[in-house]
A = this chain, B = another copy of it.
Amino acid sequence: MVRLAPEELRRAARDARAAYRSGHVEPTSGVAPGFTQANLVAVPADWAFDLLLFAQRNPQPCPVLDVLEVGQVESALAPGSDARTDLPAYRVFRDGRVVEEVRDATPYWDGLVALLIGCSFTFETPLLEAGIPVRHQELDRNVPMYRTDRACAPAGRLRGDLGVSMRPVPADRVADAVAITGRFPAVHGAPVHVGDPAELGISSLDSPDFGDPPVVRDGEVPVFWACGVTPQAAVLASRPPFAITHAPGHMFVTDVLDREYDTGLPS
């Protein structure tokens, strides 16, 4: 059982959720530093086994932090939370197409099972603490995310390719970034790829599929981590009749400290 942060430390996380509940919209990278963030994907109950199995078979892009059963809206990771309202923005999918982006998923929630999946924003604080720059935070942008041509293990009716986030890292800090993020397998862990984006089937770094374009400086190497947009790619590819996800980069902020998911050791 994951421990919550001490009550007196949780204000930043609670305040962020309250702001989003009342309509504020922003990417959550850098919000409530030190607190774990999560991706959301919700599907009708008769797709829930396929989705949970997809996550079980693809634990690096889809590490499950919590599951909300039908009728459940409060995550054990955030007492008092409501997964229908406490993210800044949601995407609504019908038959594998995004049909709407909304701030409140309440009207759509009946009969859904939701997975909360670890998010790499979680290990950005430890990266920063080690003096490794996190460019999209510096620029106050969303992280760039890409589809790749690497197939995930299929599960039931769900299939799809791996999605990744990218952070440019100075060449002499890549090893440190690998070691630090590898300590956090529950939030995607070590990079899946370092260097040439073409090897992942990414034709242009400047045109991410989700989020904002990156700024890569001289002497920096693009480093790719498995990303929680992967279930969205699976929803796009596999066309369940209905699904709701977070809007990319707009996460669920939990009351759990990053360090709860720090194994202390490279994975």
Contact = CB atoms under 8 A, between A and B. Distances in A.
Contacts of A57: 67
Contacts of A69: 53, 155-156
A49 B67 CA distance: 11
Contacts of A53: 52, 67, 69
A48 interface: yes
A263 B56 CA distance: 18
A265 interface: yes
Contacts of A112: none
Contact of A49 (B48, B64, B153, B265): B48
A156 B45 CA distance: 11
Contacts of A64: 56
Contacts of A155: 67, 69
Contacts of A67: 53, 56-57, 155
A230 to B, nearest CB: 16
Contacts of A56: 52, 56, 64, 67
Interface string A35-60: 00000000001001100110011000
A67 B64 CA distance: 16
A267 B52 CA distance: 24
A237 B45 CA distance: 23
A72 to B, nearest CB: 11
Contact of A52 (B52, B153, B265): B52
A190 B45 CA distance: 35
Contacts of A48: 49
Interface in A40-97: 45, 48-49, 52-53, 56-57, 64, 67, 69
Given A52-B52, A53-B69, A69-B156, 5 more contacts: A49-B49, A49-B113, A56-B64, A69-B155, A265-B265
17 contacts: A1-B153, A48-B49, A49-B49, A49-B52, A49-B113, A52-B52, A52-B53, A52-B56, A53-B67, A53-B69, A56-B56, A56-B67, A67-B155, A69-B155, A69-B156, A263-B265, A265-B265
Q: Which 9 A-B pairs have the closest CB atoms?
A: A49-B49, A48-B49, A52-B52, A265-B265, A53-B67, A56-B64, A69-B156, A52-B53, A49-B52
